[in-house]
Chain A
Amino acid sequence: MGKVNFILDGKEIQAEKGDTILQAARRLGIYIPVLCDHPALPPEGACRICLVEIEGQRALHPSCTYPVSEGMVVETNTERIRAARKFNLELLVSDHPLDCMTCDATGDCLLQDLAYEYDVTEDRFEGTKHHYSVNDPNPFIQVDRNKCILCRRCVRACREVNGVEAISVFYRGFSAYIGFGADSSMDDSPCEFCGSCVEVCPTGALWPKQSLGQGRPWQVEKVRTTCPYCGVGCQLILEVKDNKIVKVDSAWEGPSNHGWTCVKGRFGYDFTSHADRLSHPRVRKYLLDGKKKPTASKRDPEKEANPWQWVEVDWETALGIAADRMRQIRDDHGPGSIGFLTSAKCLNEENYLMNKLARQVIGTNSIDHCARL
């Protein structure tokens, strides 16, 4: 790719050939407001917020789709542009509930940020507003079409990134809305609940049901982590409030997932604070006491003196007992009496070590992996 020289806001700029004006501006750190554009998605040109003035062109053009060309002269922030942007924001606000006080997206809403930036304080048209019911019955995602600005980020994420095509636009003009499958519920569509649509939604139109009312962006601590579910190693950003995960955001710089996740990574975190979750190793009392396996009739873990009772121990003790017992089984019954099943949740390195343990330490070839089943 070659280079293209053009003038942006009076400054001579060099951009990559094939760049859009917005991409070129972003590379150079020049701010152009956007709403429907998302760096991880193909451009759409729908919201008309990133409009710029191009010398020689009658109408304003969206910088997100307009390719740079040699010698073009572009203005990104004139009075004319700001007025057009403000008009478009006023239109959006005129069909948007003004309930920012209780909206979960407050503080994490592009429309709110832009309304603030362009001083759009009220609905100046006082025309028809949509009143959709908020009742999509799926377990994960709240769909509030009243807050939808039809930027189609969700449509693009579902179609272009995931190839699922569960989301599309239905009807035309002012009656257009975002729908699922054959205009039914998310449940009843090909949706896999990966939550990519929620992640890219610039407003509160799509929001995780389990995160509703759980905290504002400035009330949470953001922790980058690796998803525990499989070996892909997806990076996630956890929103943590009071030592509890309240929402999962995309870590766009994650090398193996580039921000996208599956349903488990995005929504499957409630186990972390579940009452049944084990947080320390435990062993049966008879093992700790070095006794033989008692008869089954005396199984009553609640009783104090019961040999079946679980006793919390440290890792060294627990692993020591496990190693001793395994060695004993191998010695008594031979290595063929032990088999290993490893997990796709583990990393390659961990699976390799398991292989070593089975074949070299125990001496058995009976090892398999859940992903092979």
Chain B
Amino acid sequence: MPVLKNLTELKELREKARAQKADRENNKLTIILGMGTCGIAAGANEVAAAVREELDKRNIEAEIVNVGCIGMCHNEPLLDIQEPGGPRVTYTKVKPAMVGKIIEKHLVKGELSKRWIFGQLPGENGQTIEGLKTYDELPFYSKQIRIALRNCGIIDPESIEEYLASGGYGGLEKALFQMSPDEVIEEIKDSGLRGRGGAGFLTGLKWEFCRKAKDYPKYVICNADEGDPGAFMDRSVLEGDPHALLEGMIIAGYAIGAPEGYIYCRAEYPLAIVRLKKAIQQAYDLGFLGENILGSGYSFDLKIKEGAGAFVCGEETALIASIEGKRGEPRPRPPYPAASGLWGKPTNVNNVKSYAIASQIMVRGADWFSKIGTKKSPGTAVFALTGKIKNTGLVEVPMGISLREIIYDLGGGIINNKRFKAVQTGGPLGGCLPEDALDTAVDFDSLTAAGATMGSGGMIVVDQDTCMVEFARYFLTFASAESCGKCVPCRIGGQRLLEVLTRITRGEGSLEDLDEIERISKYMREGSLCALGQLTPGPVMASLRFFREEYEAHVTEKFCPAGVCAGMYAYEIDADPCTGCGLCAKACPTNAITGEKKEPHAIDQLQCIQCGACYEVCNFGAVLVKRKHELPVAEVNK
């Protein structure tokens, strides 16, 4: 395809792409497969092979389109069938063996098997099939507003034509041909967009600082080093809609006057890197990148830098050091990157979602954006729901929505109808909130005020079976291992804090240790070099604040109420709910459980090794976690 030399050529190409898409939707049978990392991990490649085989077998001609993740990771692999002129009908949890039956029923017999169908996505002109719920009517999607994720799972991420057909590069077009760089910055400022990486700094203001910096060249960097355990928001955008990021970065480059940009993407995202590379090549081929973009006179180059696995490289100064080829370590700010960043030049660093959203703000205007969400945190937030929640996956919700709505309405509540215990936001540097904080509004300021943080979008839900001390220890283990080791409070403080928590989970803690946790946390926050060290104590502090009684049970009674910390609890069977089904006795590896059929069973404490197998299998909640000293001494006699 030749390079686009001016606006007219872009408009012509977009019309052509739209016509092609309409032609496909109206005249062709399309099978759409979810090919994000989540889909592939669930077996989408095998499903794709089965689709081809089954279509060939029946001589059915169809176009197969691969898309990114649409958010329902718990339902992967996804297979959509779109008949000419019809809506997309989504089948979930598709196994290769099911493909033949789906095709036979849907395409040959014209039957819709509701057992496997999740719902339908209306076609371009709103066409639907009667009797099937549309996505908007389903709880997982009804409360979502998708801006950063607007194209994820909808378009083929490897096709720039599909991006163009969906209105892509319209924001760039507007910025380059209708607005001056200052006007672009004003627009972003007016929208109130706050950085989606976690800190929530005003994006427009950041761009302005960089624009005003008196040095050249300037750089635009995208921080795609998403490293939080259980977080995959950025990956989804990179895999599902890479051009949205590219467009946002070119707009930012134009606004601040930068001739060059870098995408710092972690190497653990191989699929994202493949799709990014493809997208960048396509953008160069069509002239969205390179010299004299669309004949506007503005030139911009974009490169990918693959991270080498250090979590701390998500910190902007460490990220910059890493691009420069140095050890990935933060340096004290000021100077901020906007004044002295990459190679000592003014540099703008934003998160993937910030750029993806910025490109949409350019299309739809600051007004539109600022009306979504809350006054101080306009727009939407993308969350990766994980943990003991039914619907794990990606959601994009308007700011201000409550945690309860996200967890129960979108997330479908807790698995196995267990009791909600806490939700961790902000990843390993965030904090957890208890049940009575479930009505907290989700926005930058409310979450911080409640004791957690917004972070970049991880949301981990835990239930009654999670020990909050062990939960905090898990994040602390991660954060202290990922400390770069440069500053003392983080390098040694993190280790010492971890030692205190390990002591407590081993039943060797004391009440003084709780004071010690607070003391170490305080000084780590106050004296660490970067956000990693300052926020490492976050999960510990939050869990200590909201679940202090659990900590106290560990240190004073040597009891882990959740039944997690080894040797700090015992199991007992409650005779009332026990039906004598015998499942527990079968599951017990040491034959510690005995009882007559249909009679309450009992555990021989001398044989029991607290493996929890009986607790897991009991369907009646009859196995209880008990303090050791609550049981008769003879039984616990150890």
Interface of A toward B, CB cutoff 8 Å: 44-48, 51, 59-62, 65-67, 80, 83-84, 87-88, 91-92, 94-95, 125, 127-128, 149-150, 152, 168-169, 171-176
Chain A residues near B484 (CB, 8 Å)? 172-173, 176
Map CB proximity to A onto B518-542 as digits: 1 under 8 Å, 0 otherwise.
0110010111110000100000000
A173-B494 contact given A48-B529, A88-B489, A88-B523, CB 8 Å threshold: yes
User: When the two chains form their complex, are residues B334 and A150 in contact, meaning their CB atoms are under 8 A apart?
Assistant: no
Q: How far is the CA of A173 from the CA of B486 in the complex (A)?
A: 8
A-B contact pairs, 12 of them (CB 8 A): A48-B527, A59-B528, A84-B527, A87-B493, A87-B523, A125-B499, A127-B496, A149-B488, A169-B486, A171-B485, A172-B483, A174-B491
User: When the two chains form their complex, are residues A60 and B496 in contact, meaning their CB atoms are under 8 A apart?
Assistant: no
What is the minimal beta-carbon distance from A85 to any residue of chain B, in angstroms? 8
Query: Please, which residue of chain B has its CB at the minimum distance from the CB of A177?
Result: B485
Question: Is B480 part of the binding interface, using a Cβ–Cβ cutoff of 8 Å?
Answer: yes
Interface of B toward A, CB cutoff 8 Å: 310, 312, 327, 329, 331-332, 334-335, 480-496, 499, 519-520, 523, 525-529, 534
Q: How far is the CA of A59 from the CA of B499 in the complex (A)?
A: 25
Query: Please, which residue of chain A has its CB at the minimum distance from the CB of B330?
Result: A45
Chain B interface, DSSP helix/strand/loop, else mixed:
helix
Chain A residues near B486 (CB, 8 Å)? 44, 46, 150, 152, 169
- What 5 A-B pairs have minimum CB-CB distances, sorted nearest first? A176-B485, A45-B332, A173-B483, A91-B492, A87-B523
A92-B488 contact given A84-B523, A173-B494, CB 8 Å threshold: yes
A95-B332 contact given A48-B527, A60-B526, A174-B480, CB 8 Å threshold: no
User: When the two chains form their complex, are residues A46 and B529 in contact, meaning their CB atoms are under 8 A apart?
Assistant: yes
Chain A residues near B334 (CB, 8 Å)? 66-67
What is the minimal beta-carbon distance from B535 to any residue of chain A, in angstroms? 11
Chain A residues near B331 (CB, 8 Å)? 45, 65
What is the minimal beta-carbon distance from B514 to any residue of chain A, in angstroms? 15
User: When the two chains form their complex, are residues A125 and B496 in contact, meaning their CB atoms are under 8 A apart?
Assistant: yes
Chain B residues near A125 (CB, 8 Å)? 496, 499
Query: Please, which residue of chain A has its CB at the minimum distance from the CB of B516?
Result: A125
User: When the two chains form their complex, are residues A94 and B492 in contact, meaning their CB atoms are under 8 A apart?
Assistant: yes
- Highest count of chain B CB atoms <10 Å: which of A46, A48, A92, A169: A48
A169-B485 contact given A45-B529, A48-B527, A67-B334, CB 8 Å threshold: yes
User: When the two chains form their complex, are residues A91 and B528 in contact, meaning their CB atoms are under 8 A apart?
Assistant: no
User: When the two chains form their complex, are residues B485 and A150 in contact, meaning their CB atoms are under 8 A apart?
Assistant: yes
Q: How far is the CA of A149 from the CA of B488 in the complex (A)?
A: 9
A91-B488 contact given A168-B327, A174-B495, CB 8 Å threshold: yes
Chain A residues near B488 (CB, 8 Å)? 46-48, 88, 91-92, 149-150
A91-B487 contact given A48-B527, A173-B480, CB 8 Å threshold: no
- Highest count of chain B CB atoms <10 Å: which of A61, A62, A94, A172: A172
Q: How far is the CA of A65 from the CA of B335 in the complex (A)?
A: 9
Query: Please, which residue of chain A has its CB at the minimum distance from the CB of B484?
Result: A172
Q: How far is the CA of A172 from the CA of B214 in the complex (A)?
A: 36
A173-B489 contact given A48-B529, A62-B332, CB 8 Å threshold: no
A172-B485 contact given A67-B335, A91-B493, CB 8 Å threshold: yes
Query: Please, which residue of chain B has its CB at the minimum distance from the CB of A53?
Result: B526
Query: Please, which residue of chain B has its CB at the minimum distance from the CB of A80?
Result: B526
Chain B residues near A47 (CB, 8 Å)? 487-488
What is the minimal beta-carbon distance from A56 to any residue of chain B, in angstroms? 13
User: When the two chains form their complex, are residues A59 and B534 in contact, meaning their CB atoms are under 8 A apart?
Assistant: yes
User: When the two chains form their complex, are residues B482 and A173 in contact, meaning their CB atoms are under 8 A apart?
Assistant: yes
Q: How far is the CA of A84 from the CA of B520 in the complex (A)?
A: 10
Chain A residues near B329 (CB, 8 Å)? 169
Q: How far is the CA of A65 from the CA of B332 in the complex (A)?
A: 7
- Highest count of chain B CB atoms <10 Å: which of A44, A84, A174: A174
User: When the two chains form their complex, are residues A91 and B482 in contact, meaning their CB atoms are under 8 A apart?
Assistant: no
What is the minimal beta-carbon distance from B185 to any residue of chain A, in angstroms? 24
Q: How far is the CA of A119 from the CA of B482 in the complex (A)?
A: 31
- Highest count of chain A CB atoms <10 Å: which of B485, B525, B527: B527
Residue from B483, B487, B527, B528 in contact with A174 in the complex, judged by beta carbons closer than 8 Å: B483
Q: How far is the CA of A95 from the CA of B493 in the complex (A)?
A: 11
Q: How far is the CA of A148 from the CA of B490 in the complex (A)?
A: 16
Q: How far is the CA of A125 from the CA of B487 in the complex (A)?
A: 18
Chain A residues near B327 (CB, 8 Å)? 168-169
Contacts A46-B488, A174-B491 supplied; 9 other A-B pairs, CB < 8 Å? A45-B487, A46-B487, A65-B331, A87-B493, A87-B527, A125-B499, A128-B495, A150-B485, A169-B327
What is the minimal beta-carbon distance from A12 to any residue of chain B, in angstroms? 22
Q: How far is the CA of A172 from the CA of B488 in the complex (A)?
A: 12
User: When the two chains form their complex, are residues B499 and A60 in contact, meaning their CB atoms are under 8 A apart?
Assistant: no
User: When the two chains form their complex, are residues A94 and B491 in contact, meaning their CB atoms are under 8 A apart?
Assistant: no
Chain A residues near B485 (CB, 8 Å)? 150, 169, 171-176
Chain A residues near B312 (CB, 8 Å)? 172
Chain B residues near A152 (CB, 8 Å)? 486
- Highest count of chain A CB atoms <10 Å: which of B484, B491, B494, B519: B491
